[in-house]
Amino acid sequence: MKIHFVGLGGISMSGVARYFKAKGFAISGSDLRAGPLTSSLMREGIRIKIGMHVAANLPKDADLLIYNRAIPLDNPELVAARKRNVPLLPLAEALGRLTEMHKTIAITGSHGKSTTTALASILFMKAGLDPTIFIGTNLNELEGKNVRIGKSPWLVLEADDFGRAFLSYSPTVVIVTNIDREHLDFYKSFLALKASFLQFLSRTHEHGTLILNRDDEVLFSLRARVAVIAKKKHLHVVWYTLQDPATRKIKRALRIPGRHNLSNAIAVYRLGKILQIPQKKILAALGAYRGSWRRMEERGTIRMEKKTIRVFDDYAHHPTEIRATLQAFREKFPHAHLACVFQPHQTERLRLLFKEFADSFMLADSLTLLPAYRVAGRDMQNPKFTAEKLAQAIKRKYPRKDVRYLADPKQLKRALLVEMTDIAQSEAVVVMMGAGDIVNYTDSLLK
């Protein structure tokens, strides 16, 4: 069977494509832009067309087309498939069918789901449970990929809340890390977003388990409605918290900084206890995790006279994530100069959370803003809400803050080196932050 993927450069799409390729299917795909994921897939033997979507990208002998929710229904490749009676399947439904074939651990939340899924994945592997894994990042433990094909009934899945994708899934166990004002371009209101999370909880199999973050104010405010769902479906509900008696042991074992990561680890600890995995194995698994692709990922070092500059990539693109990530860097490098380079991701998110963004960089010693990354199929340019306008707003609110807007990212290395010559510290940390293509600028920064 031959499957064609439209938008194959996405992290979730690439994982599903790898899964079906491992199962013996012939895979092809297309994407507007080349990037690290498309390059990796091509090296694995998957044929990908890069550039504008056109009908000719669809192979003549395709049996199925899978697309993500960012792809409009009038996309030329989808139109061509309908004309040729090639079945169309949204990515969420493809994953949904796989969840029905497994005992699924679904991990969701507005923030922290990739790290929590990574911790849970390592736990399952270390415990010998041989899981299938789908995760929204690349893991060293998965040979630098985002999918693992296991032989057991277990599936560990990062459950995407964008586009209500997770409402296609049928989990046995659900972990929810938090609920925040995210993806409001799709949901339109925070009330609708919260309703979708509750609807997702109600999809848990009867006699299944919910592991929920008591410390998240929004999530805990829904406890009465959670109780109704749990009673109706006979679910076991566990509320985890930083006040957990095991927190000290978990913190000693953990090798990644930040309160948010400690909270994620406690969720996975509770999962391990529910599955009756020995505590020693749980703590060893948590301690084995060293981070993943674009999550506080150290990429390299720039050396100047009497100065060492360490460069990191991080995927944070929401004000809550930015604050938590900078707090973790402060914890890890308390005496270093902390320089943040941020590329806003999606103009509509910037508009909806503009005030929150203006207050989210306080822990950085300096901030360089790059032009916003526009998401294909989801974004319209808004001249009132740009990276340049954000830089101006931060400067007005915090006049002493070292903030600049850099219209040409090609000048980034030069600008950072000028900045570094003026700092007093001998150690500096540069955090390249955002969910767009800022990772490509990291490569040029380190050349």
Whether residue 154 is predicted with pLDDT greater than 90 in this model: the reply is yes
Over residues 18-22, the mean pLDDT reads 95
- Let me know: does 362 contact 335? Beta carbons within 8 Å: no
Report the pLDDT averaged over residues 120-135: 97
Mean pLDDT of the chain: 94
What pTM does this model have? 0.88
Handedness of CA 99, 104, 109, 111 (dihedral sign): negative
pLDDT digits (tens, 9 = 90+) for 312-340: 999 999 999 999 999 999 999 999 999 99
Mean local confidence (pLDDT), 63-86: 95
% of the chain at pLDDT higher than 70: 99
What pLDDT does 33 receive?
Answer: 87
Is the pLDDT reported for residue 44 higher than 90? yes
Q: What is the pLDDT of residues 256-268, one digit of tens each?
A: 999 999 999 999 9
pLDDT mean over 424-441: 92
Give the pLDDT score at 377. 63
The token pair that represents 75 in the structure block: 């996309």
Q: State the pLDDT confidence band at 287, using cuts at 50, 70 and 90.
A: very high
Q: Report residue 350's pLDDT band, with 50, 70 and 90 as the boundaries.
A: very high
Q: According to the model, what pLDDT value does residue 147 have?
A: 95
pLDDT tier at 426, thresholds 50, 70, 90:
confident
Is the pLDDT reported for residue 306 higher than 90?
no
211-248 pLDDT tens trace? 999 999 999 999 999 999 999 999 999 999 999 999 99
Q: For the chain, give the percent of residues with pLDDT over 90.
A: 84
What pLDDT is recorded for position 260?
94
The tokens describing 251, both together, are 């913190």
pLDDT at 425: 87
pLDDT band of residue 205 (cuts 50, 70, 90) is: very high
258: Cβ–Cβ under 8 A, 6 or more apart, which residues?
A: 324, 325, 327, 328, 331
Choose between 91 and 304: higher pLDDT.
91
Q: Which of 353-362, 374-383, 428-437 has the lowest mean pLDDT?
A: 374-383
Q: Name the least confident of 133-137, 181-185, 221-225, 366-370.
A: 181-185
pLDDT for 90 equals 96
Query: What was the pLDDT predicted at 19?
Result: 96
User: Does the structure show a pLDDT above 90 at 421?
Assistant: no
User: pLDDT-derived band of residue 305, with 50, 70 and 90 as boundaries?
Assistant: confident
So what's the pLDDT on residue 133?
A: 98
